[in-house]
Amino acid sequence: MKKKSLLILFIALVLIVAIPFSLIACNKDEGVNDDDYTLVLSGLVDKNGNELEDISVTKAQLRQLFETKPVVHGSDDPVYASDKTDDDGNPIAHTVKGVYLEDVLAALTDSAGIEAYGTMTLNATDGYVTVITEEIFNSSGRGSKMILALEYDGVTLNPDEKSGAIRAVFPDQIANAWVKKLNKIEFSTELLKAPAITKFTALESLTGDESYVGKVQLGGEEVSRTYYGYPIAGLIESGVLDAKETDKMHCVAWDYNSAANKFEEYSAWTKYEVYNGGWLLLKEEVDGQIIDLDRRPEFDGPDFSSGMTVKNVLSLSVYNNAIVCLEKARIRFAENNGNEFALRKLLDLLNMYDKDDDYIVTSPSGDTLTLTAEKVKTAVIAKENGTFVVKSGLSAVEVATVEKK
């Protein structure tokens, strides 16, 4: 009897030790050890504005910080991306465990607070890059506290998981900021504001489109597909766009927001290394036929990672110049889907209107029409027989460029 009691006691002790150990192993995702995985933080400044050296934060450090500064959003308190819904139009709930970036800066660096920064460039191991502004990440304003997720929708993250070792999560912000496989954050004190444009070129006036062969997933298989449009690098080289390596590009789209069930204006920023390899795409080749892309123009490229594409592009602006899709502007601004819209509305979108300036409209053949700021108030851009013209009183000229003088 005594031996039997001792045996029962021994089994109980084994279970007491084994069960927690098995839970720990599960939390480590069946033995995957990514404690040495690093997240690089660059461009940091201290409270006096002095630049700091790059810092590499390990996954082990983030886990340790989670022990004292945990951020947990369970099924009773999930997080949502502002522009993602299910097939029924309901916001998609996500559960998250991780730490706030703000707590990482405070505990593991000599950085100033998050409010010291104007932009962050998020980089992923798969090549995904996005530039986000303080409106997204500065929680003292309209932004949300950035969560460095260690667990996402019940899955412990690791380098082999589809979300990667670390995922950026911005509750109630657009989904393209929720970067998977995050491995680097570039901080900048620069405040990004929409460029003040002095000249725009109509996309419809461009000629000599080019093509590249890209890859697309169809039915679970990767197939080649040829796309047609204009490489941004070529537009810079030809002088259509003027950009330096330090200039960021501002992209504005008029696209469908499934969460709101309507078309809305969407904007994004990207850096030179990305947009210089990008294209404005209009067509694709399918089964030997060249057809229009459904949501043209698209800002995409042969080396763009999934999620970097911007569809229904209205304008691409960099420095003080822009390319504008007038057809998309017509859809955006024309009343009752009509064929004309106010020139002033487009100039306002481009931060281009000034009451003290004149505006010169130039046609593809070189004809010009000069408008005072007063005349701009009543001028319209009209679509006539597939061509866009600026009309002011009895004067009209086809649009290739509009320049502020």
pLDDT for the residue numbered 21:
36
Are 368 and 397 spatial neighbours (Cβ–Cβ below 8 Å)? yes
Q: What is the mean pLDDT of residues 186-202?
A: 93
Confidence class for position 4, pLDDT limits 50, 70, 90? very low
Flag whether pLDDT at 13 surpasses 80. no
Q: Are 316 and 334 in contact (CB under 8 A)?
A: no
In this prediction, residue 143 carries a pLDDT of 81
Q: Determine the Cα–Cα distance for residues 73 and 297; give it in Å rounded to an integer.
A: 38
Q: Which of 112, 92, 102 is nearest to 51 (CA)?
A: 112
Residue 81's nearest CA partner among 168, 163, 184 is 168
Say which residues have a Cβ less than 8 Å from residue 349's Cβ, sequence separation at least 6: 252, 314, 315, 329
Fold of domain 34-188: Sulfite Oxidase; Chain A, domain 2 (3.90.420)
Inter-axis angle of helices 59-68 and 101-108, nearest 10: 100
Q: How high does pLDDT run on average in the chain?
A: 89
Q: What is the pLDDT of residue 258?
A: 62
Span of 69-73, 137-141, 290-294, 371-375 with lowest mean pLDDT: 137-141
The confidence score (pLDDT) of residue 259 equals 58
Domain positions in the chain are 34-188, 199-404
Average pLDDT of the segment spanning 318-339: 95
Q: What is the mean pLDDT of residues 133-161?
A: 90
Query: How many C-beta atoms lie closer than 10 Å to residue 207's C-beta?
Result: 6
Is residue 2 predicted with pLDDT exceeding 50? Answer: no
Quote the pLDDT of residue 6.
46
Task: Specify which of 30-39, 128-137, 215-224, 363-372 reaches the highest per-range mean pLDDT.
Answer: 363-372
How much is the pLDDT for 329?
Answer: 97
Give the pLDDT confidence score for residue 234 in this predicted structure. 97
Return the top range by mean pLDDT from 19-23, 215-219, 296-300, 334-338: 296-300
Whether the pLDDT of residue 357 is over 60: the answer is: yes
Q: What's the pLDDT at 398?
A: 98
Q: Which helix (H) or strand (E) holds 104?
A: helix 101-108
